[in-house]
Each structure stands twice: as structure tokens, then as C-alpha cells.
Amino acid sequence: MALLAVFALCAWQVAAHGPLRTFDERLGRAIAGSPFPDSLAEFFADLGNTAVALPVLCVALAFAAWRTPTAARRWPGPLAAALAMAAVPALIAPLKALLDRPGPPGPLAGETGFFPSGHAATAAVAYGAAAVLLLPLLRGRLRGWLIGAVVLLNLAVGAGLVRRAYHWPLDVVGSWCLCGCLLWAVLRVRARERSGSPAA
């Protein structure tokens, strides 16, 4: 509920040209004008492409299914992760069209439909769902390392998108809020699957 509330606040401020949107655009211009190397920012932004993120999720899906010993519990988690990934364009595309936010000055200047960010959403769900699937198969510190790596990876994707002027910061934050809800659903299914309870 908290994530949906934050998303609603961001969407309202974007649609109403509120003070948060004004601050967001100032922050976006400052980040885009920072001395952070263009090539590194572009690399991070590209990690949100489906061509990069989807294969990572597919490998995690296959590995999680292979490592789950009981056939009855083998597919609910991977299926939930695949459905969450399929839900990304179904959620993001209509919201982009509805809010029709202009992009930042830069390579995509003059275009509209930037809130929420599709690349940030793709990265959050693909890498996040992959982590949710793999966590029960890991032990000890490896779990913490995996969670930390996924968080840092998504922060890098968001920073790269803003630094390269492909998105405003709120576009990225809005995507993270929506995708947090999708990942929560995957986490619940995976927890039921691992406990042996029937997954919804």
C-alpha cells in the first residue's frame, strides 16, 4: 500500500505540474549535466533493455525450476515471475499514454510519454524476480550479496537513465513503486511454494 501511495503521489504531481514535478525537473537537469562519464551512464541505462534483462530472468526461471525437487512446487514461483514480467508493458504503456509527460532536454527532446519509465520497470522486475527465485537456493552471506547487487544494479540503471536524459528522476521512482508491488506478489508465491503450501 505504501508503494502504491508513493506512486499515486508521483503520478498526481506529474499530471498536475505540482511542486514535486518542478523539483524533479531541476534535479534531472542537474544530474544530466553532471561530469559522470557518458559511456558508463549509457552502459547502465542499457541494462534496462529487454534484450539484456529478459535473458537474465529466463536463466533464473530455468535454474529455479531445475533446482526445485518436487514437481508440484516446481512451477508456481517461475510462473509468477514470468507473469510479473508480462505485466510490465501492460501497466507501463497505458500510464505513459495517459500522463503523456514530456521528456527531458536531450536525445529524446520533443517526445512525450516518459512517466513511468519502461526501462527502469524492466530492470526492476527482471533482476528483482530473478533474485526472488534464487534466494531460497542460496545460503548465508550469498543471500545478502545477491540482494545488495540487485539493489545497486537498479540504482545504477536509474542513474544512467537520468544522466543520459532519457528520463526524469520521478519517472524512475514511479516505476520502482509499481514494480515493488509486482515483486511483492512474486515473493509471496515463492514463499508459499517453498513452504509446501498451495500457491495462489
Residues 11-43 pLDDT 10s: 999 999 999 999 999 999 999 988 989 999 999
State whether residue 102 is helix, strand or coil: strand
pTM over 0.85: yes
Query: What is the C-alpha to C-alpha distance for residues 181 and 117, in angstroms, rounded to an integer?
Result: 15
Distance, CA of 161 to CA of 156 (rounded, Å): 9
Which candidate, 188, 169, 197, places its Cα nearest to that of 129? 188
Question: What is the rounded distance in angstroms from the CA atom of residue 111 to the CA atom of residue 104?
Answer: 9
Residues in the chain: 200
Q: Are 32 and 163 in contact (CB under 8 A)?
A: yes
Q: Give pLDDT tens digits for 58-98.
A: 999 998 888 776 655 667 888 999 999 999 999 999 999 99
Report the C-alpha dihedral over residues 104, 108, 111, 114, rounded to 10 degrees.
-60
| Residue 195 pLDDT > 70 | no
Whether the ω angle into residue 116 lies within 30 degrees of 0, i.e. cis, is: yes
Summarize pLDDT for 88-143 with one digit per residue, the tens.
999 999 999 999 999 998 887 778 889 999 999 999 999 999 999 998 888 888 98
**Distance between CA atoms of 124 and 103, rounded to whole angstroms?**
21
Q: How many whole angstroms separate alpha carbon 123 and alpha carbon 85? A: 10
Q: Which amino acid is at 83?
A: L
What would the pLDDT profile of 147-194 be if each residue is shown by its tens digit? 999 999 999 999 999 999 999 999 999 999 999 999 999 999 887 776
Tell me how crowded residue 85 is: count the other CB atoms within 10 A of its CB: 24
pLDDT, mean of residues 50-55: 95
Buried b (16+ CB within 10 A) or exposed e, 117-141: bbbbbbbbbbbbbbbbbbbbeeeee
